[in-house]
Copies of this chain bind each other. A is one copy, B any other.
């Protein structure tokens, strides 16, 4: 069970920051604006998170909590099915997807505060998915597809529905395995 109680200021702040990063990007998300959204002054917020980067770290942790990271993973078919469900869940929460997409894109820049986090996270998810899918290259490809589909979908929700494209990939991966 994560943070969520009366007087849970930190939780409120992190949720607000999470949303706003998705809306405006990290560099354009100001502490003052986050503070205002939760009814605080900028300095009141700094009481909880001494620096902006401290807040970003908390936001990334929240991202992990929300993640439907496949706990106990089954075989290839099971994982692809679970990921298809994740695609549907994501399609219902554009804000979260947007936050993730923006941060992941920014993270490749020099010295970005979230760079190490994303590098580690991708390596971890690749390894986890590789266990179920059989090989790491396919895992890398599937993750890439998920990320890339999100970009197109965020820019054009009607014209680039994620689910059909993911299903196509799952179908191809399934056939690929069957053919071996």
Contacts and interface: CB of A to CB of B under 8 A. Distances in A.
B108 A137 contact: no
Contacts of A101: 105, 108
A93 interface: no
Interface of A: 22-25, 27-28, 98, 101-102, 104-110, 112, 115, 118-119, 122-123, 126, 137-138, 140-141, 143-149, 151-152, 154-156, 159-160, 164-166, 168-169, 171-173, 175-176, 179
A36 to B, nearest CB: 17
A122 B155 CA distance: 9
Contact of A151 (B141, B147, B164): B147
Interface of A is mostly: helix
One complex includes copies of this chain to the number of: 2
Given A104-B105, A168-B137, A110 B27 contact: no
Contact of A145 (B106, B148, B175): B148
Contact of A175 (B123, B140, B175): B175
25 contacts: A25-B27, A25-B109, A27-B28, A98-B109, A102-B109, A105-B106, A122-B151, A122-B155, A122-B160, A123-B156, A126-B160, A140-B149, A140-B160, A141-B149, A141-B165, A141-B168, A143-B148, A143-B152, A144-B147, A144-B151, A145-B148, A146-B148, A147-B147, A171-B176, A175-B175
Given A109-B23, A147-B151, A152-B143, A165 B179 contact: no
Residue among A106, A108, A138, A169 with max Cβ neighbours from chain B (10 Å): A108
